[in-house]
Amino acid sequence: MSEQKNAHVIPVVKHIALIAHDSRKQDMIRWCDENKESLGKHFLYGTGTTAKMISEATELPVRGVNSGPLGGDQQIGSKIVEGEINFMIFFWDPLSMHPHDPDVKALLRIATLYNIPIATNIATADYLLTSVHMNQPYEGKLIDFDQYLNRKL
């Protein structure tokens, strides 16, 4: 076997945050289900309820933080600042107000500031997931990589 074949293979893996407001959760679940194979290559985070619903519907492992209204948006924002998230899919609700609107705005602000690609609808999420950047090996900080490989979330 050639040396090349024995070379250590680095898996293609990015850290993606998945977040959806209630009126958009079904869109998020459907999109995740349709893209299950591609998403399965990446490490997924989500706000509490979104993460739970995606995991239950698709069996994709999604590491949940708190629910959005209970600080989940801020936790995701903090992970962005720490360099732990590469892409954000955030299906926010453009038709209603939320009690944690300042947190939503703060998350969008911090993701913009840190140059994180953000998809707020299915069309853009499709572009992100099929982008060459999504499919380049991860070069940044990898957290809990062993856990990721074993899918022990």
Q: How many CB atoms lie within 10 A of CB 112?
A: 12
Residue closest to ligand 13P, measured at CB: 68
CB of 78 or CB of 138, closer to ligand 13P: 78
Contacts with ligand 13P by CB under 6 A lie at: 19, 21, 47-50, 67-69, 72-73, 104
Q: How far apart are CA 66 and CA 51, in angstroms?
A: 10
**C-alpha torsion 80→17→112→104, nearest 10:** -100
Work out how close the CB of 44 gets to ligand 13P at its nearest, in angstroms, rounded to a whole number: 13
Determine if residue 15 is labeled as part of a ligand binding site: no
Using the minimum distance from each CB to ligand 13P, give the nearer residue, 74 or 86. 74
98 is in an annotated binding site: no
Identify which of residues 122 and 138 has a Cβ nearer to ligand 13P in the complex: 122
**Annotated catalytic, 73?**
yes
47 assigned ligand-binding residue: yes
Neighbouring C-beta atoms of residue 108, cutoff 10 Å: 18
Q: Which of 73, 93, 103, 126 is catalytic?
A: 73
Catalytic positions, please? 73
